[in-house]
Amino acid sequence: MFFALFESFRSAVISIYAHGLRSFLTTLGIVIGVASVIAVISVTEGMSSFIGDTFATLGSNSLTIQSYTPFEDQMKGIRARLTPEDMELIERRTDGIASITPILYASRSSQIKFGSQTAFSQIMGTTYAYQDVSQSYMSIGRFLAPSDNATRRRIAVIGEKVKENLNLPENPVNEYVEIGGEWFKIVGLMEPKGEIMGFNRDDIVLVPYNTMRSLQGNQTRTDIQIQLSLSDTADADSVTQQLTTLLRNAHDLSSDEDDDFVIQTADQLMETFDTIINMVTVVIGGIVSISLLVGGIGIMNIMLVSVTERTREIGICKAIGAKRHHILMQFLIEALLLSLLGGLIGLALGYGLGTLISNAIPSFPQASVPLWSVALALGFSGFVGVLFGILPAAKAANLDPIDALRYE
């Protein structure tokens, strides 16, 4: 049996080599299909790994609470809000909180000026606890202090991108910038944190929370975002349930009303991105897998032609004692080798294409090919070869030796 298997394999290799161009064109559909699938998977896996590493820097024990208003209610002029009183209530009555800080975004203008330079950035009012909650660290200078917030000082901490956009000196500390018509002294520069999904986390300006409130004037209903970090012993699900109950009671929501706020964790955001990426991978993979089907049909057609061309050879083999399963094995192995060869070429091209795409896009994560995708590509290629090779192999095996010998 081993000898028959070896001879079938040798015969298949000789046949493929003898018709090199035809063999390549036969496997072209497999090559394109596998290359497309691997390219898509390598790019999405690289992106998924990058997003995972990025969200890890946000801290798995951090929570973000923000108001949520359905679109229908927004059209009616209804707007949900989170107030400073909500944050005080959370801080006072929720267990397991290590640090908590409000975030108030600039509502009038996100414009910041330095000399003749003008840039638009994300300007936020927050407190000293933001440094712990967001795991932000200083490169130069200091962070916001509790006394800055208490006295409403006009100071700012900026990100690396802001420094570049305004052409500030390498050490921007003690420089003055204009925000909302007011002059702010820069007291610190944060370490670079990079981009995430097109959002530059270094394009940020932090000012004391009470200073931001004074800039916005006497608003009766301020909408803030609340960020908090949990203690090491706290359970995120338990704290989330506490927060939900607390805020629903504070906002007088009945049991049949939906939450007017959203509580998100870094893990939940990661799961959301993973779901989206996996869905995109499956959809695109399903589309490009059609070419694998086309490649399989191509293999079947060429193998049927090969059976016709080698009818006399098959008759001779049977006449000298070859059994039906020997002929079946020979043609089946040839179809399997063709498809696996196409799978290997497609694997290499797919990885090269994925690497090319990731390198061509600035700041895009490096392509990555997981082992399961390699096994899937080669396994599916082999399956296609066997599936579409059975009919030609069966036709060859069922040929009558006398008719085959008479064939011209």
Q: Render 158-190 in DSSP notation, one character per residue.
A: E-HHHHHHTT--SS-TT-EEEETTEEEEEEEEE
114 & 249 share domain: yes
239 & 310 share domain: no
Which of the two residues, 97 and 16, has the higher pLDDT score?
97
User: What is the model's pLDDT at position 322?
Assistant: 64
Structure tokens given for 407: 């064939």
CA distance 104 to 216: 10
157 & 283 share domain: no
255 & 279 share domain: no
Alpha helices for 251-370 (secondary structure H): 266-288, 290-309, 311-319, 324-360
| Strand pairing report for 204-208 and 122-126 | parallel
CA distance 34 to 27: 11
How large is the average pLDDT for residues 2-31?
A: 68
CB 78 within 8 A of CB 69: yes
Could you tell me if residue 357 is inside a domain?
A: yes
162 & 220 share domain: yes
- For residue 373, the enclosing domain spans 2-54+275-406
Could you tell me if residue 267 is inside a domain?
A: no
Structurally, how many domains does the chain consist of?
Answer: 2
Could you tell me if residue 37 is inside a domain?
A: yes
116 & 246 share domain: yes
255 & 354 share domain: no
Looking from the CA of 106 toward its CB, the CA atoms found within 13 Å total 21
Could you tell me if residue 43 is inside a domain?
A: yes
Structure tokens given for 107: 């509502």
User: What is the model's pLDDT at position 350?
Assistant: 87
Last residue of a domain, one of 211, 227, 259: 259
Mention every residue, 6+ apart, whose C-beta is less than 8 A from residue 119.
111, 112, 113, 162, 165, 166
At 213, the amino acid letter reads R
Mention every residue, 6+ apart, whose C-beta is less than 8 A from residue 114.
166, 167, 168, 175, 176, 177, 178
Which sign, positive or negative, has the C-alpha torsion 363, 199, 149, 182?
Answer: positive
Could you tell me if residue 231 is inside a domain?
A: yes
Residue 404 has pLDDT above 60, yes or no: no
237 & 366 share domain: no
Max avg pLDDT among 11-15, 173-177, 331-335: 173-177
Could you tell me if residue 61 is inside a domain?
A: no
Q: Give the helix/strand (H/E) hosting 206.
A: strand 204-208
User: What is the model's pLDDT at position 31?
Assistant: 83
DSSP, collapsed to helix, strand or coil, labels residue 257 as coil
Last residue of a domain, one of 205, 227, 259: 259
CA distance 167 to 175: 12
Confidence of residue 231 (pLDDT cuts 50, 70, 90): confident
Residue 146 has pLDDT above 70, yes or no: yes
User: What is the model's pLDDT at position 320?
Assistant: 67
247 & 303 share domain: no
User: What is the model's pLDDT at position 132?
Assistant: 86
Confidence of residue 155 (pLDDT cuts 50, 70, 90): very high
Which of the two residues, 210 and 275, has the higher pLDDT score?
210
- For the ranges 26-40, 94-108, 161-175, 378-392, which has the lowest average pLDDT? 378-392
Mention every residue, 6+ apart, whose C-beta is less than 8 A from residue 378.
340, 343, 344, 347
Could you tell me if residue 268 is inside a domain?
A: no
22 & 153 share domain: no
CA distance 149 to 180: 18
User: What is the model's pLDDT at position 173?
Assistant: 92
Which of the two residues, 193 and 266, has the higher pLDDT score?
193
Nearest CA-CA partner of 91 in 242, 276, 209, 280: 242
Q: What percent of the chain has pLDDT over 90?
A: 15
Locate tokens 């407190």: which residue? 127
Residue 126 has pLDDT above 90, yes or no: yes
313 & 374 share domain: yes
Nearest CA-CA partner of 385 in 343, 338, 324, 316: 338
Mention every residue, 6+ apart, whose C-beta is less than 8 A from residue 54.
194, 196
294 & 213 share domain: no
How large is the average pLDDT for residues 25-47?
A: 78
Confidence of residue 184 (pLDDT cuts 50, 70, 90): very high
How large is the average pLDDT for residues 228-251?
A: 85
CB 111 within 8 A of CB 120: yes
Last residue of a domain, one of 225, 259, 293: 259
Which of the two residues, 289 and 183, has the higher pLDDT score?
183
Could you tell me if residue 33 is inside a domain?
A: yes
Q: What percent of the chain has pLDDT over 70?
A: 76
